[in-house]
């Protein structure tokens, strides 16, 4: 699964405009510990191409209430076409979710060690996501939300966790947002990212709490500082 991630260098989104954005939010700031149910920046397959804030945890348009979103932070690539909550978004409502790292916890003996997984290039990348809009029947307010698609782990992630988020190669990002992409073509893009292009490093257990959204979460625990980062 993917239950926490980071976007510590949001300025990269503007520097080269690699996502071909027309609009940016004014209050985009570094985030070190992004958690479910929080607003996250996403690029929906809509015009104009805009980086906007949506809720992490997909609430289907047909949901009776918003609590279902807490169970919809991730969507398994293998079963997207089978799940009512994801079937229509796979066809019509896909999104990119920019990030520069994500966290997974590795069980070692009696403890779980958090790892920050990044690209070896250090650049911002994009998770493959789905989105939907739900109308709150009490307030008649529209809420847009998203989910991050996961797949089987590559060789780097396999010792840490049995799932990993789908990171789209740069050349697939435009295709993922294309209106002409069929569900079959979309699913074909949902593959594990190459392990040779990723790094994983142990970080502080401060990341365990979503309230700790500071650079300190990226520092290793004192007892782990002699450990080497996992090799590719």
With 70 as the cut, is the pLDDT of residue 41 above it?
A: yes
> Is residue 232 domain-resident?
no
> Is residue 91 domain-resident?
yes
> Is residue 51 domain-resident?
yes
Question: What per-residue confidence (pLDDT) applies to 27?
Answer: 81
Confidence of residue 206 (pLDDT cuts 50, 70, 90): very high
> Is residue 56 domain-resident?
yes
Question: What per-residue confidence (pLDDT) applies to 23?
Answer: 86
> Is residue 69 domain-resident?
yes
> Is residue 208 domain-resident?
no
Contact between 19 and 98 under an 8 Å Cβ cutoff? The reply is yes
Question: What are the distances in angstroms from CA 142 to CA 47, 127, 159, 167?
Answer: 18, 24, 41, 28
The CA distance from 202 to 123, in Å, is 19
Confidence of residue 37 (pLDDT cuts 50, 70, 90): very high
With 80 as the cut, is the pLDDT of residue 223 above it?
A: no
> Is residue 113 domain-resident?
no
Question: What per-residue confidence (pLDDT) applies to 224?
Answer: 45
- Count the domains in the chain: 1
- pLDDT per residue as tens digits for the range 72-105: 999 999 999 999 999 999 999 999 999 999 999 9
Supply the residues annotated as catalytic: 2, 104
| Cα 118 off chain centre by | 12
> Is residue 150 domain-resident?
yes
With 90 as the cut, is the pLDDT of residue 1 above it?
A: no
- pLDDT per residue as tens digits for the range 148-192: 999 999 999 999 999 999 999 999 999 999 999 999 999 999 999
| Terminal C-alpha separation, the chain | 20
The CATH code of the domain that includes 100 is 3.90.1680.10
Domain of 185 in residue numbering reads as 5-104+123-194
Q: Tell me if the pTM is above 0.85.
A: yes
Burial 96-133 (b: 16+ CB within 10 A, else e): bbbbbbbbbbbeeeeeebbbbbbbeeeebbbbbbbbbe
- pLDDT per residue as tens digits for the range 128-137: 999 999 998 8
């Amino acid at each position: 699964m993917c239950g926490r991630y980071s976007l510590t260098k949001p300025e990269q989104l503007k520097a080269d405009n690699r996502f071909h954005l027309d609009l940016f939010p004014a209050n985009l700031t570094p985030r070190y510990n992004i958690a479910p149910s929080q607003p996250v920046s996403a690029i929906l397959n809509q015009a104009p191409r805009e980086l906007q804030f949506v809720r992490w945890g997909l609430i289907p348009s047909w949901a009776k209430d918003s609590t279902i979103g807490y169970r919809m932070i991730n969507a398994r690539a293998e079963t997207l076409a089978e799940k009512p909550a994801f079937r229509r978004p796979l066809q019509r409502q896909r999104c990119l979710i920019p990030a520069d790292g994500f966290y997974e916890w590795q069980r070692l003996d009696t403890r779980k060690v958090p790892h920050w997984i990044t690209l070896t290039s250090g650049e911002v990348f994009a998770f493959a996501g789905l989105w939907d809009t739900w109308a709150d029947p009490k307030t008649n307010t529209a809420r847009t939300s998203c989910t991050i698609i996961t797949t089987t782990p590559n060789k780097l992630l396999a010792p840490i966790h049995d799932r990993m988020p789908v990171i789209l190669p740069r050349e697939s990002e435009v295709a993922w947002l294309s209106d002409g992409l069929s569900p079959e073509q979309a699913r074909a893009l949902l593959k594990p990212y190459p392990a040779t292009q990723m790094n994983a490093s142990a970080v502080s257990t401060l990341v365990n709490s979503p309230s700790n959204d500071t650079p300190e979460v990226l520092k290793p625990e004192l007892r782990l500082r002699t450990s080497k980062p996992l090799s590719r």
